[in-house]
Amino acid sequence: MGLFYHIGKYFLLLRRVFAKPEKHGVYYRETLKEIEKLGISSMGIVAIVSVFMGAVITIQTAYNTENPLLPTYLIGLGARDSILLEFSSTIVALILAGKIGSNIASEIGTMRVTEQIDALEIMGVNSASFLILPKIVASVIFAPFLTLLSMIVGIAGGWIAGTAAGVVTTENYVYGIQYAFNPFYITYSIIKIDVFAFLITTISAYHGYNSYGGSLEVGKSSTKAVVHSSIFILLFNLILTQLLLS
Amino acid sequence: MIEVKGVSKSFESADVLKDVSVVFEKGKTNLIIGQSGSGKTVLLKSIVGLHEVDQGQIIYDDIVFNKLDFKAKKEMRKQIGMLFQGGALFDSSTVEENVMYPLEMFTDLSHSEKQDRANECLKRVNIINVNKLFPSEISGGMQKRVAIARAIALNPKYLFCDEPNSGLDPRTAIVIDNLIKEITEEYDMTTIVNTHDMNSVMEIGDKVVYIYKGEKWWEGTRDDIFNTNNEELNNFIFASKLSRKIRDLENKV
């Protein structure tokens, strides 16, 4: 019953979030701020994780394809497909769930327990929409750029690690990443990251918005936001993969 | 004028408010007093619509506020200003942005006009030269004054203050009290202050309502308090030795 209660409450919150904004100009400015706060500030962590992820994938692929019958360009091809299909969307989403999910839940949760949300309501502002909608729009707009960044940096990381370790030459790696390339893989990845971005922001905002008590509850909400976002990312990863690739 | 008519409110099995009826007068500073847990915050939050009442009516100048639909309530709220216990200033906005916020949301003024109005409100509460600072960079008393400036930015008809003196030293508390009283008279607002600070009662209590275990136990003016026979109120008001001495001296005079 608890699960249905929360699902119902989550959709009721979403109904308030997508109500007509009071002032479009204010929402637009808030969205730009959120793009900076949630998106641009995440570029560093995404780049760092992606370069190492690409490097490890390349070395592991090389290790698994260590066979004189298999051409070494397969290392590039395997690394590319792993990065494009899974890592740059799902792993990046899981990182974002930790970084921006906890940020959103703690920010909104703190606003709740310090009565800032009540202050908005008293003024006649739809607090759910004002606080959450700009975050959703910002993350859905910017998340695909983070995924594209992750793809580029991940593949570059694979090349650096592969050539430095001597498991693949530059020519073979470049040939591999171009071999039998399917552009739909990028579309698939972007669709996934947008769904994940929506889930991360709304689930985290839901937990923050429903924090009551003090700092301890805000901390708990933040943890729940990360855990629940991660679980739903994995669940929707399965659903979307089945829908888009089967 | 705000009239509370037969209001009851319960949370799960706990009856927090029991058939409370009271009239809060316009142009006066109306105080709700009571012990912690007596239900005074629930009453205040019910009046402003942050809690839905189970029974009864909240009437703002002939408009039954608690029966309004969401949209009408939202419109009505533009006439309401509220000062929260902790100030409830937006952490990520500067002092000036905080005061400008209601103007940004609900007026079509130009940026310079909004800035002028914000500065006017800040000046009224004696806040100068801190416009670009963040709430965390100013003192608690200043935060409360900025919150008052934000509350009056849209010239509200109703002002609500939830424990405005909590966390303040007695001297600053009196400054805040007097500011609330002055603004109430200047803007001819209906002001309701929720407090358990006896200095506030004596300083600004034009009308005092005592809530005891969720019921309205007593109402009167600050002068009536010295002559009341209400035992619970006497135990609450004159809880300290000092206050008992003051009462005895007052009664002698």
Binary contact (B88, A114; C-beta < 8 A): yes
Binary contact (A123, B90; C-beta < 8 A): no
Q: What is the residue whose two structure tokens read 């963040």?
A: B134
Provide CB contacts within 8 A for A40, sequence distance 6+.
Answer: A142
A1 pLDDT tier (thresholds 50, 70, 90) = low
Q: Report the C-alpha gap between A169 and A54 in whole angstroms.
A: 16
Of A111, A122, A126, the CB nearest to B82: A122
pLDDT at res. A244: 93
Mutate to test the interface with A, among B46, B65, B84 (most CBs of A within 10 A): B84
Share of residues in chain A with pLDDT > 70 (%): 100
Query: Considering only CA atoms, which of A86, B49, A149 is closest in space to residue A78?
Result: A86
In chain B, the residue whose alpha carbon lies closest to the alpha carbon of A19 is B71
Contact between residue A101 and residue A229 where contact means Cβ atoms under 8 Å apart: yes
Q: Within its chain, how far is the Cα of A215 from the centroid?
A: 26
DSSP A3-31: HHHHHHHHHHHHHHHTSPPS-HHHHHHHH
Residue A107 has pLDDT above 70, yes or no: yes
pLDDT at res. B197: 83
Residues of A in contact with B75 (CB under 8 A): 124
pLDDT at res. B243: 75
Q: Please give, rounded to a whole number of angstroms, the shortest distance from the CA of B86 to a CA of chain A.
A: 7
> What is the identity of the amino acid at A68?
P
In chain A, the residue whose alpha carbon lies closest to the alpha carbon of B153 is A123
Mutate to test the interface with B, among A122, A127, A131, A218 (most CBs of B within 10 A): A122
Residues in A lying within 8 Å of B, measured between beta carbons = 22-23, 26, 110-111, 114-116, 118-119, 121-126
Residue A14 has pLDDT above 70, yes or no: yes
pLDDT at res. B85: 87
Residues of A in contact with B101 (CB under 8 A): 123
pLDDT at res. A152: 96
A206 pLDDT tier (thresholds 50, 70, 90) = very high
Q: Please report, for residues A147, A159, A176, A178, A199, the alpha-carbon distance to residue A172 in angstroms, rounded to integers and kept in the order given.
A: 25, 10, 6, 10, 39
Contact between residue A16 and residue A126 where contact means Cβ atoms under 8 Å apart: yes
pLDDT at res. B250: 73
* Helix/strand/coil for B101: helix
Q: Report the C-alpha gap between A126 and A123 in whole angstroms.
A: 9
In chain A, the residue whose alpha carbon lies closest to the alpha carbon of B72 is A124
pLDDT at res. A193: 96
How many other CB atoms are there within 10 angstroms of residue B62's CB atom?
7
Provide CB contacts within 8 A for B153, sequence distance 6+.
Answer: B81, B99, B100, B101, B102, B103, B117, B118, B121
pLDDT at res. B196: 83
Contact between residue A167 and residue A61 where contact means Cβ atoms under 8 Å apart: no
A37-60 pLDDT, tens digit each: 999 999 999 999 999 999 999 999
Residue A78 has pLDDT above 70, yes or no: yes
Burial class (CB in 10 A: 0-12, 13-18, 19+), B213: middle
> What is the identity of the amino acid at B30?
N
Look up the pTM and report it: 0.87
DSSP B85: T
Binary contact (A114, B50; C-beta < 8 A): no
Of B74, B86, B90, the CB nearest to A124: B74
Mutate to test the interface with A, among B11, B46, B91 (most CBs of A within 10 A): B91
pLDDT at res. B103: 93
User: pLDDT 10s digit of each residue in chain B, 253 long?
Assistant: 999 999 999 998 889 999 999 999 999 999 999 888 889 989 999 999 989 999 999 999 989 999 998 888 888 888 999 999 888 999 989 999 999 999 998 888 999 999 999 999 999 888 888 999 999 999 988 999 999 999 999 999 999 999 888 888 888 888 888 889 999 998 899 999 998 888 888 888 889 999 999 999 999 988 888 778 888 888 888 877 877 787 777 777 6
DSSP A118-185: HHHHHHT--HHHHHHHHHHHHHHHHHHHHHHHHHHHHHHHHHHHHHHHTSS-HHHHHHHHHTT--THH
Residues in B lying within 8 Å of A, measured between beta carbons = 48, 50, 74-78, 80-82, 84-86, 88-91, 101-102, 104-106, 160
Asked which of A112-121, A125-134, A146-155, B225-234 is least confident by mean pLDDT, the reply is B225-234
Query: Considering only CA atoms, which of A139, A94, A108, A80 is closest in space to residue A207?
Result: A108
pLDDT at res. A143: 95
